[in-house]
Amino acid sequence: MKLPRRRFLAGSLAAGVIASPVGIVRGQPLAFASDPFTLGIASGSPREDSVVLWTRLAPQPLEGGGMPDSPVAVDWQIAEDEKFARVVAQSTVQAMPAEGHAVHVEAKGLRPGRHYWYRFRAGNALSPIGRTRTAPAAGSTPAQFRFAFASCAQYEQGHFAAYRDIANRDLDLVMHLGDYIYEKSWGSKLVRQHAVGIPTALSEFRDRYALYKLDPDLQAAHAAFPWLAIWDDHEVADDYANDRSYTTRDPAQFMKMRAAAYQAYYEHLPLPASARPRGPFATIYERYRFGDVLDVMLLDDRQYRSPPACVGGARPGTVADCPERTLEARTMLGSQQEQWLDRQIAGAKAHWTIVAQQTLMAELDRPNEGGHRFWMDGWDGYPNARRRLLDSIATHKPRNPVVIGGDRHAFFVADLKRDFAKANEPVLASEFVGTSITSQGPSAASMQQALKANPQLKYGRGDKRGYATVEFTASRCTVGFEALDDEKQKDSAVRRLATFVVEDGVTGAKPA
Ligand code: FE
Ligand code: CA
């Protein structure tokens, strides 16, 4: 089912359009002089019987929001139909100044595997209508299940035509794997500007999210489907690791900034209450189940990782191997998340097991005379953590394990093995990396070199922006690499660049 995009984009200021008043409006009804729903609406964290509904009141989105320093009542409704004739839940929540007047509503008591429509009202303003979808019931197997996964949307380097294309598809879900915003300006042939510098304070991070979320194509992608989202580095600072950042060397100062960044991330995405930050800490790793089709484990490989190896506190680029890299104690997920993931993998029961994380998991060696060089910000900087994750898959044998990632600004297909140097090692999982929505990719020469030196990489393209689609049936998983003609054009077309399949019971991707 395809919904016209315009339906989602027309915010209105009509008072009393909701037929029966919902909830109780405390205090004086606010009369907004301009639309407070400038950042759109969103839904996420779909479960069988619930979904999180999101909006943020921001009549002056680029100037701190423009809201009074007091709580504001927000009515919400969720219905079985887009005309809101069959409303199944409604209430009122308070949008709080401490959360930038963002609201996260958990709409409960829903039925599994079906569409719902939702909207908000604040004072005299009515939000656009969003459509969402609950997860299929446990034990059920829908004939098919589809999602898109995306990452890396540097605002200045291109228009969000890829998000528009996602919005126009027929999907059950969107997964965002990080770099939803960028803190810094970079790249060539910029089509638009951040206008202000690198955010460090909460108000500055809020304004950065607002700039991105004013984009109608991003709003449309949120309004069309529920999202699952995890962050990568640029939501905070380039290539940070836990409390270490080469841009802010004092860990105490960096953690203050991380707290602001995590808070702003929470405020702008349809995350569950369990992800609400407490200072510089927030738990975003989580498991989602979609009937008997999919088990999804969302990981956080930024917050708990060991410092980058072999670079002595400098920026973690591609550098020569050193003994620090292969220390057993080095962690990518932190011991708690690592143990949690092992339990989830042990308990996975669905037909397909998706590990959704930030970056390329397969080894990407850049050999040079007499040695090896690795990108220390990725899993190659944490090879034993990767081996432990793959050990967990080898031990528990979940059905059809598939790893998805972003971060590299390139499409990759890879075979995951415990030891990439051994040609005969069994393939434990199939891996797909979506490219970037806009962020510029590696050079053709660097991709060619990578593919030549790393037989586990079965496909790689760094010259195209876009995203990936995944379609599951009982017998196969089909991954499509969807590529923009030109991310510098607002109305760029999107074309299928390549299609791969993973057959049920056969690990490893094949070209379709
Ligand atoms: Fe990125
Ligand atoms: Ca990244």
Sequence spans of domains, the chain: 5-131, 146-511
Ligand 2 center to 410 CA (angstroms): 12
Ligand 1 center to 232 CA (angstroms): 8
Ligand 1 center to 506 CA (angstroms): 31
Ligand 2 center to 179 CA (angstroms): 6
Ligand 2 center to 235 CA (angstroms): 9
Return the exposure string of 334-367: e unless at least 16 CB atoms fall within 10 Å of the residue's CB, then b: beebbebbbebbeebebbbbbbbbbbbbbbbbbe
Q: By three-state DSSP, how is residue 405 classified?
A: strand
Q: What is the dihedral of CA 134, 140, 145, 151, to 10 degrees?
A: 60
Q: Which ligand is nearest to the CA of 230?
A: 2
Ligand 1 center to 178 CA (angstroms): 7
Ligand 2 center to 191 CA (angstroms): 21
Q: Which ligand is nearest to the CA of 238?
A: 2
- Cα–Cα distances in angstroms (integers) from residue 319 to residues 371, 375, 381, 385, 485, in the given order: 10, 7, 10, 19, 33
Cβ neighbours of 282 (radius 10 Å): 21
How many whole angstroms separate alpha carbon 465 and alpha carbon 459? 15
Mean pLDDT, contiguous 10-residue spans, the chain (512 residues):
34 38 49 94 98 98 96 97 97 97 98 98 95 97 96 98 98 98 97 97 98 98 98 98 97 98 98 98 98 98 98 94 97 98 97 98 93 97 98 98 98 97 94 98 96 97 98 95 98 98 96 96
**Torsion sign, CA atoms 45, 152, 241, 200:** negative
Ligand 2 center to 81 CA (angstroms): 39
Res 48: pLDDT: 98
Res 30: pLDDT: 79
Ligand 1 center to 59 CA (angstroms): 29
Ligand 2 center to 8 CA (angstroms): 30
Closest CA to 360 of 406, 427, 318, 305: 406
Q: Which ligand is nearest to the CA of 357?
A: 2
Res 11: pLDDT: 39
Res 270: pLDDT: 98
Q: Which ligand is nearest to the CA of 441?
A: 1
Res 29: pLDDT: 66
Q: What is the 3-state secondary structure (H, E, C) of 32-90?
A: CCCCCCCCCEEEECCCCCCEEEEEECCCECCCCECCCCCCEEEEEEEECCCCCCCEEEE
CATH number for region 5-131: 2.60.40.380
Q: Which ligand is nearest to the CA of 240?
A: 2
Classified by CATH at the fold level, domain 146-511 comes out as: Purple Acid Phosphatase; chain A, domain 2 (3.60.21)
Q: What is the dihedral of CA 27, 33, 39, 44, to 10 degrees?
A: 30
Residues that place a CB less than 5 A from ion ligand 2: 179, 232-233, 407
